[in-house]
Structure 1
Amino acid sequence: MPHLRLSFDLRRPEFVTASSAELAATMLDICEWADGLGFDMTYFGEHHGAEDHYLPSPLIASAAAAGRTSRMRFRPILLTPLYHPIRLAEDIAVADLVSNGRMSPVFAAGYRKQEFDMYHVELSERRERLLEAVEVCKRAWTGEPFDFRGTTVTVTPRPAQYPRPPIIMGGAAEVPSRRAAHLADGFDPAEPKAWEFYRDESLKLGRDPGPWVPRSPTFLYVSHDPDAAWAEVGPNLLHAANTYARWIAQSAMRESEWYPPISSVDELRVGNAYEIVTPERCVEIGRELGPDGHLVLRPLFGGTEPKNAWASLRLFESEVLPHLEVPDPLPWTG
């Protein structure tokens, strides 16, 4: 049956009653719970200056979650151009050490101009800064001296993983997808089209990463009464969906058709990205994904209240998980 994963962004829109501290504490409790049940990875997103308090520090969140777990891997999605590359190499190395080698960060380029302005980084520099950071981390994690912008530097300590933590890249367009085949140890895109670009380029380089791995819907929630659950968590999902739509529309990508604005919870329900299902249907989804698929739960998505998040998770534990054979954790390349 599929690999089980978590994802968090710690959004807290104004209508949510739980505090940011309560959401963060719940996140750590959920990670500990999931680690004991065989979940093999947790994602943490990154955005800055968001009105809904979207998580800006995924490495810190990953390190905190590592202290509450023993086997689960962590995949912080880093807006790489916003980091000083030496400091990034140091921070990832320390996070890898405190997690005992369980970090597999995603080096992402970012797309929101407001975030680049906040860090006094030109959006036009994002590709150059991303490539520099990847190269610096690869060299830094050897523990050997190297030249950085004209100065010889040595980054210590080395990470726990040998020869280094995997460098994962993301992307949606063709150019970054193909670039990842040359630079990264793995690729973690959001859609099959990008994977096909990556696989095609990898095949040209003499290796086959395999076909696209099927994934569960963007949001998957388990309830005996889906209608009542939609009334509870629907506003959170609508907020998240429309925030992404606005960010994409305002971005340099201008591909707002990926995330069109949604006018109501009822409209959101007719799509297939956000699903609130019975335990029986969730079991079916897991079986449809197959042994290589990824079943990703986002229990606090859009600022979902902790009590609602736990209601779904406990039902998943008691009435879904017993019917799914959880596979061994994925290898380090993810």
Structure 2
Amino acid sequence: MTTFVTRYDFRVPGGDAATRQEVYARSLEQAAYVDAHGHDAIMLSEHHASDDGYVPSPMLVASAMAAVTTRVPITIAALLVNLHDPLRLAEDIAVLDHLAAGRVGFTFGLGYREVEYALFDRPWRTRGRDIEERITTMLDAWATGRVTPRPFSDPHPFLLYGGGTPAAARRAARLGLSFQPQHGDPALEEEYVAACRELGREPGLVITAPPGPANVFCAERPEEFWERWGHHLLADATAYQSWHGDAASHVLDSSTTVEEMQAAGVYLVCTADDLVERIRSREVRLVTNHPACGGLPAEPSWASLRLVTETVMPAVRA
């Protein structure tokens, strides 16, 4: 069955305060909309020191979205644990867990931008050891009642550890967490399972994204969408690439022009009928909506989301 996810990072390149506030307000309206129409998840992320305003406080957004939804799971992937005080983070997660009645899950991660560590005066060289210590502190704090309240979920919300290296897989095993390997690398899953077995632990869930486009948009006239709005998608892709350098980003798109992006297919723009066929043929197994991608305005944002929700989803779930 195809999974339908809606994600937000709140990049608004060059946006003024009013434009940015509209994107935030729209995200809450759209969260309520996807909740009412049966989407499978809302995904948020965390980054800091970003000129385009990438959201630094996803837990605040998750709290606001939890208040306007009743059923859709919300996931924060990734939460950059080393940039937070572990006891305060444990408290905040517990409170959010109560507000959302257990609907918010978390993927813990190191992050990959040294500038973020510098912003908070956190050591870069020891980041692997530090995150393990911080997560252990949080788990112990929940288990012992050192912080209150205890989470709504027993013993804590759904937690994964995310990363793209064998060290990350082994760390997830040591911490007793489920694992989210980057880029769907099967070798990392094998490393995780083996490490769990060596420790005498039953492996948790391993969650990987299936092959396919990183972001999906629907339009009645895809060529016109690319012509009018493609620069927003390009801004999103190039911003990630500037952060990763030669390393592959989560979007895996090194395009430098809108035309290159259109040909690459990592950001897919198609008609509703085309998307239905791609889903039925199993070419697309995960539909990740990105309604505010690169500061995408309200008109194409809502049009795409409604086509996916009101045309594609009923067709493939009938």
**Normalising by the residue count of structure 1, what TM-score does the alignment of the two structures yield?**
0.86
Distance 1:208 1:290 in 2: 28
Match of 2:170 in 1: 178
Secondary structure of 2:111's match? coil
Match of 1:310 in 2: 302
Higher relative contact order (CA 8 A, sep 6+): 1
Distance 1:13 1:188 in 2: 29
**Is 1:118 aligned to 2:111, yes or no?**
no
- Closer, same or farther: CA 94–296 of 1 in aligned 2, 3 Å: same
Q: What CA deviation, in whole Å up to 9, does each residue of 1:225-277 have, x standing for no partner?
A: 1000111221011111111111112xxxx526885643210011111211101
Distance 1:62 1:15 in 2: 22
- Taking the TM superposition and a 5 Å limit, the aligned residue runs for 1:180-329 are 180-193=172-185, 195-203=186-194, 205=197, 207=203, 209=205, 212=208, 214=210, 216-249=212-245, 255=247, 261-289=254-282, 293-325=285-317
Q: Return the offset for 1:142.
A: 1.9
Match of 2:32 in 1: 32
- Closer, same or farther: CA 290–162 of 1 in aligned 2, 3 Å: farther
Distance 2:117 2:25 in 1: 29
Distance 1:164 1:172 in 2: 24
- Closer, same or farther: CA 75–108 of 1 in aligned 2, 3 Å: same
- Closer, same or farther: CA 257–188 of 1 in aligned 2, 3 Å: closer
Greater mean deviation of Cα atoms: 179-188 or 6-15: 179-188
Matched AA of 2:270: V
Q: Return the offset for 1:179.
A: 2.5
Q: Report how many residues are paired.
A: 311
Q: Return the offset for 1:29.
A: 0.7
Matched AA of 1:34: V
Q: What CA deviation, in whole Å up to 9, does each residue of 1:122-156 have, x standing for no partner?
A: 21121122111211121111243xxxxxxxxx200
For structure 2, the 5+ residue unaligned runs are none
- Closer, same or farther: CA 32–199 of 1 in aligned 2, 3 Å: farther
Distance 1:213 1:49 in 2: 27
- Closer, same or farther: CA 35–168 of 1 in aligned 2, 3 Å: same
Secondary structure of 2:118's match? helix
Residue identity over aligned pairs, in percent, reads 29
For structure 1, the 5+ residue unaligned runs are 145-153, 327-334
- Closer, same or farther: CA 49–86 of 1 in aligned 2, 3 Å: same
Match of 1:82 in 2: 83
Q: What CA deviation, in whole Å up to 9, does each residue of 1:86-107 have, x standing for no partner?
A: 0110111111111111121111
Distance 1:209 1:74 in 2: 17
- Closer, same or farther: CA 294–215 of 1 in aligned 2, 3 Å: farther
Greater mean deviation of Cα atoms: 38-47 or 282-291: 282-291
Q: Return the offset for 1:198.
A: 2.3
Match of 1:332 in 2: none
RMSD after superposition: 2.4
- Closer, same or farther: CA 256–164 of 1 in aligned 2, 3 Å: closer
Distance 1:289 1:99 in 2: 33
Match of 1:71 in 2: 71
Q: What CA deviation, in whole Å up to 9, does each residue of 1:198-231 have, x standing for no partner?
A: 2443156154857955254111000111000111
Matched AA of 2:102: G
CA contact (8 A) 1:11 1:302 kept: yes
